[in-house]
Amino acid sequence: MHLLRAIKAFPAKRLARLTVPTAAALKDACSSFEGVNNHLEEEKGRLERILASFQDGSIRALGNRDIRYVAAGIGSHSAVGETQVRKILEEIERRKSYRLVRAIFKSLLASYRTVPVRHQLRVFLIRHFGSLPYNVQQFAKESGILEGDERLTAFSRQLSQSKDILNFCVSKGISSQILASGYGTELKLASIRAALADPVLDAIKELFSWTFADINGTPISDYYEAILAPFGKVVPPAEVQKVLMSTLVKKFRDPRIEEWPRLEGKSSEDRRAACLGTIKRWLSIEYLDLFIKIIEATAVDRQFNPRKRFWLRYFERGVVSDLTLVLASDANAVARRTRGQSAESEYMKWASLNALPDQSVLLMRLGDLVIAEWSHNGAMRFWKADSRSAPQFHLKDYSGADLRSGSIKIKVGSGYRDSIVHTPNGQWMTWASNAIEFHTGVRV
């Protein structure tokens, strides 16, 4: 509506002065929005008129088209509540119109996620089951949609275990219209939950391909919760985890950079935080693993397994809140080859480093500290997160100076230095963990 008002308020004379060849076409396109706005206002007035007839007793004077129109608002319009639904059903009962009964079945599909009215519609449709078309009756029998909420769980389990989901949908009467409804959304979400209870890689891939095939733009937040909620305390098989991460980043983008949609319902912020914590922890560990693989492929020695063991404890605890992988030319080539070995790793992105060709840096935020872990014989450096000299995250390009200058002094042995060198005897781990604990209070 804000866009409509802005377009309507834009002066047509200003458009006329533009030298853009398509200015006339733009003017015509903008003018058409006024008609759309008027149509929306007419629709709102129509709904208000129909609902007013419920109050003044003139509902019997309405035509069947008006009854179908207000039935379509069940579950999607706040003005059509339980009281209004009861009156709609009573009027359809009186009129004995099979077309209106079918309209109520469509309303059940559309409003399936609205719990209060679901029972009312089910009771009505069970009484008038014979007025429904044959294909609808068959779908209702297969799915158990009129029998209770527990039937959705069983039906979704069948779907998730099917080796051919499209054939399953055809055999059960699940049409594209059903999938586009509120019931379709609940069926997809329940199928995801069922599949992830005992995840199998190929089945998960097919299910996700089917689930998101007809969803344009960013899916609703319920999808990321259905995918992530089962794994707050357990970890899925590695290959399954890659598919989950790939799907989530493709659909909702990287949660460390982009804002994911909010959840609805009780404790929504806590549930959302738990989901984000899980996906960020997975992504961080994945980037740590890639960092180690790159170093091992480009370095002469094999000093880097201790580094992975050291940092993995922090990543698994979920205390690393942000991360950017920064790669010079040779390391970048290794990363591309490593990522290319798995089609499910396309979500992994990194920045370019203007330094020696085989160098790379893992830039991390841990509490109030920003830490740059350099590859090879490069040192580890620390900054306070609120310092103006602290490196920024998620830039496209970095120089060596960006990731070295302005770092704070850290206690190393009996003195203080501006970096920690990775000594072969492993003493660096004690110095690093002490520095992290001193500045953040985090100890693992």
> What local confidence, expressed as pLDDT, does residue 329 receive?
87
> Among the residues of 57-114, which ranges form H helices?
64-71, 82-95, 98-110
**Selection from 212, 209, 196 nearest residue 161 by Cα:** 196
233 in any annotated domain: no
> What local confidence, expressed as pLDDT, does residue 34 receive?
53
Report whether pLDDT(39) > 80: no
Domain encompassing residue 423: 276-440
C-alpha span between 433 and 444 (Å, rounded): 8
404 in any annotated domain: yes
C-alpha span between 125 and 119 (Å, rounded): 10
C-alpha span between 254 and 344 (Å, rounded): 15
> What local confidence, expressed as pLDDT, does residue 10 receive?
54
> What local confidence, expressed as pLDDT, does residue 256 receive?
85
For the chain, what percent of residues have pLDDT higher than 70? Answer: 88
Burial 65-80 (b: 16+ CB within 10 A, else e): ebbbbbbbbbbeeeeb
Compare 50 and 347 and report the one with higher pLDDT.
50
38 in any annotated domain: no
387 in any annotated domain: yes
> What local confidence, expressed as pLDDT, does residue 28 receive?
62
Q: Decide: 264 and 299 in contact? Cβ < 8 Å.
A: no
How does strand 351-354 pair with strand 320-327?
Answer: parallel
How does strand 410-412 pair with strand 415-417?
Answer: antiparallel
77-93 tens-digit pLDDT: 888 888 899 999 999 99
Q: Decide: 347 and 245 in contact? Cβ < 8 Å.
A: yes
Compare 346 and 291 and report the one with higher pLDDT.
291
Q: Decide: 357 and 312 in contact? Cβ < 8 Å.
A: no
39 in any annotated domain: no
371-393 tens-digit pLDDT: 999 988 889 999 999 999 999 99
> What local confidence, expressed as pLDDT, does residue 181 receive?
94
377 in any annotated domain: yes
333 in any annotated domain: yes
Q: How confident is the model at residue 296 (pLDDT cuts 50, 70, 90)?
A: confident
111 has which bridge partners?
A: none
How far from the centroid of its chain's Cα atoms is residue 212's Cα? 11
Average pLDDT for 214-241: 94
C-alpha span between 170 and 181 (Å, rounded): 17
Q: Decide: 100 and 124 in contact? Cβ < 8 Å.
A: no
Q: Decide: 320 and 363 in contact? Cβ < 8 Å.
A: no
Q: Is 124 left (phi over 0), alpha (psi -120 to 50) or beta?
A: alpha
Number of domains in the chain: 1
The mean pLDDT of the chain is 87
Q: Decide: 285 and 318 in contact? Cβ < 8 Å.
A: no
Average pLDDT for 178-185: 95
57-77 tens-digit pLDDT: 888 888 999 999 999 888 888
C-alpha span between 249 and 245 (Å, rounded): 6
Q: How confident is the model at residue 417 (pLDDT cuts 50, 70, 90)?
A: very high
In the block, which residue shows the tokens 């984000």?
A: 276
> Among the residues of 266-328, which ranges form H helices?
268-298, 305-317
How far from the centroid of its chain's Cα atoms is residue 341's Cα? 25
> What local confidence, expressed as pLDDT, does residue 36 receive?
45
120-140 tens-digit pLDDT: 999 999 999 999 999 999 999
419 in any annotated domain: yes
